[in-house]
Amino acid sequence: MILPGVANLILFGALAFLLVVLARLDLLYRQLPFPLVLAVGFFGILNGVLSPDSPISLIDRGLGMMFLGGGFLLVRDIVSARQGQEAMGLGDVKLAVAAGTWIGWQGAVFFTLLGAVIGLLVYAWLRLRNYFRGRPAPTYLPGGIGFSAALLIIAGLETFGIHMSPTSPLDLILPI
């Protein structure tokens, strides 16, 4: 394992701070402010520039932005058209694009699955909390919380030298 440089640790700390703020704002106001999401993306590109030996090249990061952003936008449009109402906010799509600058295309599938699982766990917690407080169940799933947590986990693993496999995200769990 290669220890990260000071610049990478500072950028990861900035990412962690931004993602906690974004998750809190999504929970309270159902919004992911664009300037904060833009900062996440900028720090991801800067991290790539400052890490020339990283297995995630700048081209991989660009492909991650395209795959995640395009995939999230496609899902948003299809589900919204079928439901007749907005299914996912554009802030979640922009956060996925920004995540691509940190994880590249290699981590796209794992990011999406992990973010969805964490988001569902948060939703279940919100339902239980509201049930025991005698409040109505929430009518929305704050996706920014799950995807922020997923990005924090994956970027943290990458920062400390545990890289996503380009062939399978399961290699992270079951190394061969």
In tens digits, the chain (176 residues) has pLDDT values of 345 788 889 999 999 999 999 999 999 999 999 999 999 999 999 999 998 888 888 999 999 999 999 999 999 999 999 999 888 999 999 999 999 999 999 899 999 999 999 999 999 999 999 999 999 988 888 899 999 999 999 999 988 888 765 544 455 555 55
Residue keyed to tokens 């917690």: 125
Question: CA-to-CA distance for 170 and 35, rounded, in angstroms?
Answer: 33
Task: Compute the distance between CA of residue 174 and CA of residue 176 in angstroms, rounded to an integer.
Answer: 6
Burial class (CB in 10 A: 0-12, 13-18, 19+), 156: middle
For residue 53, give both structure tokens: 């030996």
pLDDT given at position 164: 67
Structure tokens at 29: 């106001």
**What is residue 2's predicted lDDT score, i.e. its pLDDT?**
47
